[in-house]
A = this chain, B = another copy of it.
Amino acid sequence: MTATPLGPGPEFDRIRAIAAVLGSRATGLGDDCAIVRVGTKTLALSTDASVEGVHFRREWLSLEEVGWRATAGCLSDLAAAGALPIGVLVALTMPAADPPAAFASVMDGVGRVVASVGGTVLGGDLTKGDVRSITVTGIGRVESVIGRQGARPGDELWVTGELGGARAAWMAMQAGREPDTAARARFALPVPRVAAGRRLVEGGARAMIDLSDGLAGDARHLAAASRVMLRIDLAQLPCHPAARVEAETQGEPAEVFAAKGGEDYELLVVMPPGATGNVGIAWSRIGQVESGEGVVLELAGRAVALEGYDHFA
């Protein structure tokens, strides 16, 4: 059985149960991407489902944004594998009453974000169903394989961009408030860090994961897969400006608010000591890799307990 070790939680218990029953009929479960060698080339593949009422609400997003956001989530997995996207396949379920233009709107959003990273829409499947859902499968080329494994004690932990923007928008919309414009863009039209992912791999990155379920949970997966402990100094977390504002509303330290945020689709990356270089966007050193297991989050010298998002918790 070749499943990558995962962090704790009922979602990951399900993946462990699947890996146990599949045995040798599965290869490489549990990582962001499947790695497939074809001739002399290596491919990364990832599939990602977005379900109405679970991942998105129609009153919060246009149909174009539904398509963009679902696809960006998949392309973010390719980014964390350092892959150059070739394209995506899209299975789209919509009510039979939705007109052809509604399907085209979703796919317009898909096409825009795929084109933004140099890929195309390769194909798909249309199905009627009362609950809208979109499953995007991405395929890309990788030059050298990187996953969640590979972090070693002494390495440095970095994160791209700013965290908490998507959560700031989500909290505002949940409360019936108008979200900050920039924060809403982070939520509705996230930018997959494809270019940064490739530069980080070229720059010697040892392990990488995209932040889709919150820093604590995703860091735990990386720690479990690499069999190391990650120590994160939350004071170093780059916070989105709207996250600072929203955190104050919630009476929470901005860094804790940002660490809780899922779906920023930034990259958490482990670099060898002394990492430097230009990855095309800001990136911040937020911690270090130590011997041990699990993740320690600290703020002003005190440990902070945080969970990642778990679909089945």
Give chain A's interface residues, CB within 8 Å of chain B: 10-11, 13-18, 20-22, 24-29, 31, 33-34, 36, 38-41, 43, 45-49, 51, 53-55, 86-87, 89-93, 96, 100-101, 103-105, 107-108, 111-112, 114-115, 120-131, 133, 135, 137, 139, 141, 311-312
Contact = CB atoms under 8 A, between A and B. Distances in A.
A14 B126 contact: yes
Given A100-B14, A139-B36, A107 B22 contact: yes
26 contacts: A13-B100, A18-B100, A18-B107, A22-B121, A24-B120, A26-B120, A26-B121, A27-B120, A34-B87, A34-B89, A38-B41, A39-B39, A40-B40, A41-B41, A45-B89, A46-B125, A49-B125, A49-B133, A51-B93, A51-B128, A91-B137, A125-B135, A127-B311, A135-B135, A137-B137, A139-B139
A127 B49 contact: yes
Q: Give the 3 A-B CB pairs with smallest separation, nearest first.
A: A34-B122, A17-B100, A25-B111
Given A33-B123, A54-B127, A135-B135, A114 B41 contact: no
Question: How many copies of this protein are present in the complex?
Answer: 2
Nearest to A108: B21
A124 B121 CA distance: 20
B47 A123 contact: yes
A137 B135 CA distance: 10
Given A41-B39, A93-B133, A312-B96, A125 B25 contact: no
B123 A29 contact: yes
A36 B128 CA distance: 27
A29 B87 CA distance: 12
Chain A contact surface mostly: mixed
Nearest to A103: B14
Contacts of A18: 100, 103-104, 107, 124
A123 B14 contact: no
A30 B128 CA distance: 17
A202 to B, nearest CB: 20
Contacts of A24: 120
Contact of A123 (B34, B39, B40): B34
Contacts of A40: 39-40
A123 B30 CA distance: 7
Contacts of A11: 126
A86 B38 CA distance: 10
A123 B28 contact: yes
A87 B27 CA distance: 9
A137 B171 CA distance: 34
Given A87-B36, A129-B51, A25 B120 contact: yes
Given A25-B112, A29-B123, A129-B133, 19 more contacts: A14-B100, A14-B126, A18-B100, A18-B107, A21-B108, A22-B108, A28-B122, A38-B43, A45-B122, A49-B91, A49-B92, A49-B93, A51-B93, A53-B130, A54-B129, A93-B133, A125-B135, A128-B311, A129-B131
B93 A126 contact: no
